[in-house]
Amino acid sequence: MNSNNDIEKIRKEIFDLQAKISAWDNAYYNLDSPEVPDEIYDVEFNKLKALEEKYASFFSDEELKNSPTRKINALASDLFKKVKHKRPMLSLNKAYSLDEIQKFIDNIKKITSDFSFFIEPKIDGLSISIIYEDGKLVRAITRGDGITGEDVTANVVQMSCIPKTIEYKESLEVRGEVYLAISDFEKLNLKLGQENKNKLANPRNAAAGTLRQLNSQIIKERNLSAFLYYVVDPLQHNIKTMQEEHEFLKTYGFPVTHEVQHANTLQDIEEYIRNFKNQKLLIDYETDGVVIKLNEVQYFDKLGSTAKFPHYAIAFKYEPNVETTTIKRIYATVGRTGLVTYNAELEPVEISGSLVSFATLNNFQYIKDLNLNENDLVYIKKAGEIIPCVIGLISGKKEIDHFQKVEFCPYCHNKLVDSETGLEQFCSNDQCPEIQRRKLIHFCSKDGLDINTMGERNIDLFLKNSLISNPIDIFNLKNKKQDLLKLNRMGEKSIENILISIDECKNKPLYKMISALSIPLIGVKLAKFVASKIKSLHNLLNYDFSQLIDYHEIGDKIINSIISWISNDFNKKLVEDIINLGYDLKDENESITNLLENKSFVITGTLGHPRSYFERLIEKNGGLIHSSISSKTNYLLAGENAGSKLQKANKLNITIITEEDLFKMIGQ
């Protein structure tokens, strides 16, 4: 039995959570400036939902009515004309597990046994409703609170992806999501940074902020995108399924996502969810889960809805990959460019199957913004391959109490310098042993020359024994065999392997060397561009880089960075020495043939050469490589033991080829 005291405590906890989440909702929906990352929001929201369910008897209906779990906390702003929606624009209920999806299906089964599903990515943008009369766009409205939205027609007509006229002449209302492509978001933040303006938190808020600008010109400049996924009153347009709806929207020129799938069973849904987990990392728009919709429209009305969401669709959210733990220690490290990164050593915690003991804190500004310090209880996020990151305090601190700025390089003890923006700190000492070490590690890494026998451990061993100090020493290791043999752990065989793999660099494409050199701002992508222009390493020293200014890949900053790097005597000598030792690498011909032009390939199973061999072969002949099968895939190159990709390709009628077939296709 709960005492009155206990009940009051629980009620207070719930009211506090409601207030906290409502404030977050306001910042997110109405100010376009989120206060916490989505993951923290989800954790707290679910906590509130569970508490409200468990202790429902402690509250009257009236008391729960305004909880953020029951109503949409977005308001239509006064800046735009308010318009009432013809049909409410609802939200979606969420599922975090297959069990919850099963419950959603069980509910449908109560009214029919003849149904299927249509699955789509859940686009992380803001919803929009667009109305056409007699084939002309007449009005566009934001969701607002779901009942009343803002008239943003003037802005939406500036979006090049939205058709202003369509061939369909009936009155039509279509709904979808306005978003900012990740690449456009990055460009925008780069530009805002250059103009010393505040950067935007994420693509979703950037899109929301942009769509609700009063200056329509900005919409044009920022290149907002949209996907449409819903037709209001579909039956009136003779649309009987969600799949037909997708086709209808496509036919009339609306932008739609391609990552959609028809499904019959929970197993099909599970497979989509599994595949999309990887696929979502490769697409140029942000998603926050997948939407599973009942395909057959005729049952929608019968299924009905709550005030907040319909029963014909559900949003599946991937596990948030967030855990809580304590920061044991904060320390700074220095990278190959001298950039200082703050890191946290953590009380080890398991996040989606792996044990996490360290996380990044980015820069000092990040620590200050989140008010982080040693011994704090924090949320940690780990998603995909990304380094785990501390994303916030579990409960806020009232007073400012954060870790202090590091003033001196922890390795060479030189005074650190602030970047122009003040956001970053650098060690500017060229001779800093840590910068040298990091440069060597990068030189041999995958993004550099990819010398797989020269990992961090061997580099540290050679550094400690003064066998290497800069990249040229790596190519000279072949003259130090006797010294190498004296090292513990080094047998003749492993030394031979190291020397062979270093020698093999002679046959590598030029861009790998350019990227290996750690020229500031030149990563793999730009290294490929530079390589395609200079053609061989010796041209790096005499090429006129200023002529590249007309290419959009490259700007002033990048050109100046290359020019200043080359004009440093040490770097010049390094390049000359590399060339003299026989490593004057050349640009590979970009493409040998165009026999595979515009054909998309997926590779699976065990083949006669490493997968990278086939990837390069396909790309050199004009083909494209994708990691997962979709209806757009042209060929599946399948080796032995091919698994689910083969099954899927069969299902989608995709041509399956062997490596022999591939060789024939390119005339080998």
State residue 131 phi and psi, 5-degree precision.
-115, 130
Q: How many whole angstroms separate alpha carbon 391 and alpha carbon 613?
A: 39
| Smallest separation, CB 122 to ligand IVH (Å) | 4
Q: Is 415 annotated as a binding residue?
A: no
Question: Shortest gap between Cβ of 129 and ligand IVH (angstroms)?
Answer: 10
The rounded distance, in Å, linking the Cα atoms of 53 and 63 is: 13
**Least distance (Å) between residue 281 CB and ligand IVH:** 18
**Residue keyed to tokens 């943008």:** 125
Find the helix or strand (DSSP H, E) in which 615 lies. Answer: helix 611-620
What phi and psi, each to the nearest 5 degrees, are found at residue 457?
A: -65, -45
- Asked if 276 and 303 touch (Cβ cutoff 8 Å), the reply is no
Q: Cα separation of 543 and 15, whole Å? A: 67
Is residue 480 marked as binding? no
Residues 415, 418: Cα–Cα separation, whole Å:
10
25 is in an annotated binding site: no
Cβ closest to ligand IVH, residue 120 vs residue 184: 120
C-beta of residue 530 within 8 angstroms of C-beta of residue 474:
no
Q: In this structure, what token pair is assigned to residue 369?
A: 């913004």
Structure token digits, residue 667 = 């005339």
Would you say 583 is a known binding-site residue? no
Question: 130 vs 502, which CB is nearer to ligand IVH?
Answer: 130
Note whether 598 and 625 are within 8 A (CB).
no
- Amino acid identity, position 599: K
Find the shortest distance in angstroms from Cβ 127 to ligand IVH.
Answer: 3
* Residue 389 annotated in ligand binding: no
d(CA 168, CA 133): 9
**Closest Cα partner for 174 from 138, 131, 221, 114?**
131
Judge whether 120 is annotated as a binding position: yes
Q: Whose Cβ is closer to ligand IVH: residue 26's or residue 362's?
A: 26
317 annotated among ligand-binding-site residues? yes
Nearer to ligand IVH, 232 or 490 (CB): 232
What is the nearest approach in angstroms of ligand IVH to the Cβ of residue 73?
13
CA gap 129, 24 in Å, rounded? 25
Q: Is 40 annotated as a binding residue?
A: yes
**Distance separating alpha carbons of residues 276 and 282, to the nearest angstrom:** 10
- Nearer Cβ to ligand IVH (311/512): 311
Cβ of residue 94: shortest distance to ligand IVH, in angstroms?
8
177 annotated as ligand-binding: yes
Residue at shortest CB range from ligand IVH: 127
133 is in an annotated binding site: no
Nearest distance in Å: CB 174, ligand IVH:
12
Nearer to ligand IVH, 312 or 364 (CB): 312
The residue written with tokens 């026989």 in the block is: 582
For the bound state, the minimum distance from the C-beta of residue 244 to ligand IVH, rounded and expressed in Å, comes to: 15
Hey, what are 384's tokens?
């995909």
Nearest to 543 by CA among 565, 521, 523, 524: 565
User: 């700190």: which residue's tokens?
Assistant: 425
Least distance (Å) between residue 628 CB and ligand IVH: 19
Chain centroid to CA 238: 38
Compute the least distance from the CB of residue 151 to ligand IVH, in Å.
18
* Least distance between ligand IVH and beta carbon 312 (Å): 8
CA of residue 664 relative to chain centroid, distance = 37
Q: How far is the C-alpha of 278 from the C-alpha of 564, rounded, in Å? A: 40
Q: Which CB sits closer to ligand IVH, 204 or 645?
A: 204
Residue 666: CB atoms within 10 Å: 16
Residue 505 assigned to a binding site: no
Closest to ligand IVH by CB, 14 vs 74, is: 74
First to last CA, the chain: 80
Residue 71: CA count within 13 A, CB half-sphere: 15
**Residue 666 near residue 621 (C-beta atoms within 8 A):** yes
Residues that bind ligand IVH (CB under 6 A): 90-92, 120, 122-123, 127, 177, 229-230, 291, 310, 313, 315
- Work out the burial of residue 270: count CB atoms within 10 Å of its CB; fewer than 13 is exposed, 13-18 middle, 19 or more buried: middle
Q: Which is nearer to ligand IVH, 243 or 429 (CB)?
A: 243
Nearest CB to ligand IVH, comparing residues 20 and 122: 122
Instruction: List, edge to edge, every strand of the sheet that includes 172-179.
Output: 136-142, 126-133, 172-179, 225-231
The catalytic site residues sit at 122
CB 180, CB 188: distance < 8 Å: yes
> Smallest Cα–Cα separation from 233: which of 298, 167, 146, 313?
298
DSSP label of 165: B
**Is residue 50 packed enough to be buried (19+ CB in 10 Å), middle (13-18) or exposed (0-12)?**
exposed
Q: What are the two backbone dihedrals, phi and then psi, of residue 300, each rounded to the nearest 5 degrees?
A: -55, -50
Residue 402: closest CA among 431, 445, 363: 363
Coil, strand or helix: which one is 639? Answer: coil
38 is in an annotated binding site: yes
User: CB of 225 within 8 A of CB of 257?
Assistant: no
Cβ nearer to ligand IVH, comparing 122 with 382: 122
39 known ligand binder: yes
Q: Is 350 annotated as a binding residue?
A: no
Q: Binding-site residues for NAD(+), please?
A: 38-42, 91-92, 120, 143, 177, 293, 317
Binding site, annotated residues for Zn(2+): 409, 412, 427, 432
> Binding-site residues, please?
38-42, 91-92, 120, 143, 177, 293, 317, 409, 412, 427, 432
